[in-house]
Amino acid sequence: MTKRSRTTLSQRSRGRTRERWLAGGALLSVAAIWGSTFFMVKDATQSFPVFAFLTLRFVIAALVLLPFVLREIQRRGTLPARRDWAWGIGAGVLFAAGYIFQTFALRTVDAGRAGFITGLYAIFVPFLGLVVLRRPIERRVLIGGALAFVGMVLLGYAPGGTLLGDLLALLCALAYAGHILAIGEMPRSSDWRFLALAQSLTVAVLCGVLLPIMAAVRACDLDACAALAPFADALPANLPSNVLFVAAFTGVLATAFGLMVQVWAQRILPASDAALIFALEAPFAVLFGVIFLNEVLTLVGLAGCVLIFSGTLVVTVGAPQTLATDQSLETVPSEAAD
């Protein structure tokens, strides 16, 4: 090898190293943003209708993503296929369910607690894949699931939660797991920008439709309506400035920006590295909850969080490279997402 060739290889190596550091830092910033949304959304929706907030948030996200989709349509010279609409809407329904369950859960449980329970989606994915797609479960998944189960038991004895709130957070994790499987089965020829836009629009439309329906439930005396009472908010009389700020922050940064950074960074970093960085979302949720909401984490709660976090790492870090990379384009929510 000539001296010039060695110099060129050295320059390329340094360039790749810088690029990896930049990608890692970008993903870390996204994980911090996602972690911060728990306490922000909890504060914003305590007295503001959840469905109104989610409608506003995803309308903003859709408006941010729309120019990128229009530019791609202009470049290709073709409109998205009907199949792409079907995949986007289908995944969007699961996406909406996850956000609805999570946001209502945040009304009754601590932000950090909700973050760790939501993070169980990484463990639910392979179990749901076994049921829906007949994919075999590896030993690491069973170990991670056992650790997370023990962690959930310990977390259940810690303050800062309710039975309804914990259940809603678990349903959120299950919905996100279904969303991950749906994204993993999407045709690779479909444009990720349009799929992101279609899902954002689906969430916005569904929440916009549910808002007046659930408001009407408040005046209903039937037993079925009574069961839905915890989810029935009145129509908003105004739009507080703090709610608008949180909706804009989560819509622009946590959803639109986070997704674009994720797609770019996942083309540079190995899936195991990205999974480890994304797993920091839950500790960030706890940190911001303690700092801004004065939440308290007892030793029992801390032990539960550590076990859930460990179980998540066992499942995600040991995942096959190709599967993790394919799914990571749009699935590590919590915009998931996240």
Q: Taking the alpha carbons of 206, 124, 28, 329 in that order, is the dihedral positive or negative?
A: negative
Residue-level pLDDT at 327: 41
Please give the model's pTM, rounded to 2 decimal places: 0.79
Residue-level pLDDT at 224: 76
Residue-level pLDDT at 174: 92
In-domain check, residue 7: no
Which parts of the chain fold into alpha helices (H)?
3-44, 50-76, 82-105, 111-118, 121-133, 139-156, 163-184, 192-217, 223-227, 241-249, 258-265, 271-278, 281-293, 299-317, 321-327
Assign 55 to helix, strand or coil.
helix
Residue-level pLDDT at 330: 41
CA dihedral 293, 297, 302, 308 (to 10 degrees): -40
In-domain check, residue 194: yes
In-domain check, residue 17: no
In-domain check, residue 4: no
Range of the domain at 70: 23-327
Residue-level pLDDT at 326: 42
| pLDDT, block means (10 residues), the chain with 338 residues | 59 70 82 87 92 96 94 89 91 93 91 82 80 80 79 72 88 88 78 87 96 89 81 91 94 85 68 59 80 80 81 65 42 44
Distance CA(322)–CA(305), nearest Å, equals 28
Residue-level pLDDT at 263: 61
In-domain check, residue 193: yes
Q: Label residues 223-234 b or e (16+ Cβ within 10 Å = b).
A: eeeeeeeebbbe
Q: Are 235 and 212 in contact (CB under 8 A)?
A: yes
Residue-level pLDDT at 139: 79
Assign 266 to helix, strand or coil.
coil
Report residue 331 as tokens. Answer: 């699935």
| DSSP letters spanning 171-190 | HHHHHHHHHHHHHHTS-TTS
In-domain check, residue 290: yes
Distance CA(331)–CA(185), nearest Å, equals 12
Residue-level pLDDT at 125: 78
Instruction: Tally the domains of the chain.
Output: 1
In-domain check, residue 12: no
